[in-house]
Amino acid sequence: MNLMEYQGKELFRRVGIPVPRSQHCKTADDVAAFVEKNPGNWVVKAQVLMGGRGKAGKIKFAKNADEARAVTTDILATPMPPNRQNPNGEPINAVLVEETLDIALEAYCAIAIDRTTKKPVVMVSKFGGMDIEEVSEKHPESIAKHFIDVAVGYSPFIGRELAFASELDPGFRKQFPAIVAGIYDLFFKYGAKLVEINPLALTKDGRVIASDAKIELDDDALYKNPEFKDWQAVLPLDEDEALAAAAGLGIRNFRRFPGDVGTMANGAGLAMGTMDAVKNAGGEIANFLDVGGGANAERVRKCYELVVNHTPAKVFFVNIFGGITRGDEVAKGIVQAMKETTSRKIPLVIRLTGTNEKEGREILAAAGMTPVETMDEGAKRAVELASA
């Protein structure tokens, strides 16, 4: 789960990372009232998960209440425009009104999980305020890293070493170890897979402040902090995840694609393999779907309906490897599901292998379905039916 900037900054505050003075507002009137009461220079920032707010004109400055009302009205008037990763854009429901910082320098500081060393890694660069991917391309030598031994934990020398190794301006040095202590604390306390401060600002009056906040929380750890349930409620729903949850699947178990071959397999690896097989056969998949273990009638029906009602699939390719699941039971489940469903009917291609495969295929054939023996054969047949 990715957090909005204002949520991330709330966590920063709790672990002692300095953030600009700010107010989270939902309407232009609220923003104007806040600025009226707190005269000064303010910046109004759209609260969305998408990047590219500045370029989209969704970050604007205001010197008084009237200006604040005008720019907020303007920001809220239209959603974030689409980009490659977010083809539907994103609605804007709130803004963050924040004190304008008089920035001298911008740096980058983040903590993430390094899979190879199996340790948290802190990354620091003196090039802040730009995309870190761009930094790692243009100035790879500028990124200093420290892999933290979890058994020992954080110690201030780590922050000092990183500040020297990344050649941070001396102005950052004194306060920097406390910033790293804060992100390390946040990382474990709230189960964050990524905490990124970009930019970490050094103001002209010598303060080190997190000017932006990007945090990704581990979905598997959300249960440890029940308040995140409420935080999640204001986040824009990923439609595929919502559909998966409504069908009783895990949120990672379903994802849509632009093609017309619907798929379902048991197990994530096999489901990915099924997508690849359809592509190899010259087709385009409509979705990824891992039905999990125990493909009973109700489960199969829900998955079938999920695909036919929410994708333009012309054929439904079911790829089951009966390991623990018995082939005849899966076949009975499929036949019953097709009898019960009231959704539109599309042809099924069913690949059924493993335990009791022969019995399973007989049940399917008797019900007028197309059982096949191998994944490649099934993919080929499904692609033919979709283009027929």
In 3D space, the residue among 259, 252, 274 whose CA is nearest the CA of residue 321 turns out to be 274
Stretch that binds another protein, among 14-22, 75-83, 280-288, 295-303 (CB under 8 A): 280-288
Residue of 26, 224, 229, 358 that binds another protein (CB under 8 A): 224
Q: Give the C-alpha separation, 373 to 358, whole Å.
A: 10
Which of 99, 104, 354, 359 contacts another protein by CB under 8 A?
354
Stretch touching another protein by CB under 8 A, among 39-47, 103-111, 121-129, 215-223: 215-223
Q: How far is 177 from 345, CA to CA, in rounded Å? A: 62
Question: Counting contacts by CB under 8 A, is residue 119 touching another protein?
Answer: yes
Judged by CB under 8 A, the stretch of 30-38, 70-78, 274-282, 305-313 that binds another protein is 274-282
Strand, coil or helix: what is 366?
A: helix
Compute the distance between CA of residue 108 and CA of residue 304 in angstroms, rounded to an integer: 46
Of these, 13, 145, 160, 279, which contacts another protein (CB under 8 A)?
A: 279
Q: Residue 34 or residue 257: which is nearer to another protein going by CB?
A: 257
129 residue type, one letter: G
Q: Which residues contact 116 (CB under 8 A, 6 or more apart)?
A: none
Rounded Cα distance, 213 and 317, in Å: 43
Using rule CB under 8 A, residue 272 touches another protein: yes
Give yes or no for a contact between 147 and 120, defined as CB atoms under 8 angstroms apart.
Answer: yes
Q: Does 269 bind another protein (CB under 8 A)?
A: yes
Q: Give me the residues paired with residue 321 across strands.
A: 353
**Could you say which residues in the range 157-196 bind another protein, by CB under 8 A?**
187-188, 191, 193
Which of 8, 120, 159, 199 binds another protein (CB under 8 A)? It is: 120
Q: How many residues bind another protein (CB under 8 A)?
A: 53
Residues classed as catalytic: 108, 196
121: amino acid identity, one letter = V
Q: Work out which of 220, 226, 368, 388 binds another protein, going by CB under 8 A.
A: 220
* Strands of the chain, DSSP E: 22-25, 42-46, 59-62, 95-99, 103-114, 119-125, 144-147, 192-203, 208-210, 214-217, 254-256, 261-265, 287-289, 315-322, 348-354, 370-372
Span 289-308, contacts to another protein by CB under 8 A: 290
Selected from 37, 87, 118, 205, the binder of another protein by CB under 8 A is 118
The helix/strand/coil state of 42 is: strand
> Nearest Cα to 254, choosing from 296, 301, 291, 308?
291
Q: Least distance (Å) from another protein to the CB of residue 85?
A: 6
**Both structure tokens of 159:** 């922050």
Residue 85 binding another protein, by CB under 8 A = yes
Tell whether residue 275 is a contact of another protein (CB under 8 A).
Answer: yes
The residues that touch another protein, with contacts defined as CB under 8 A, are: 85, 113, 115-116, 118-120, 133, 149-151, 187-188, 191, 193, 218-221, 223-224, 250, 252-253, 255, 257, 265-273, 275-277, 279-280, 285, 288, 290, 321-324, 353-355, 374-376
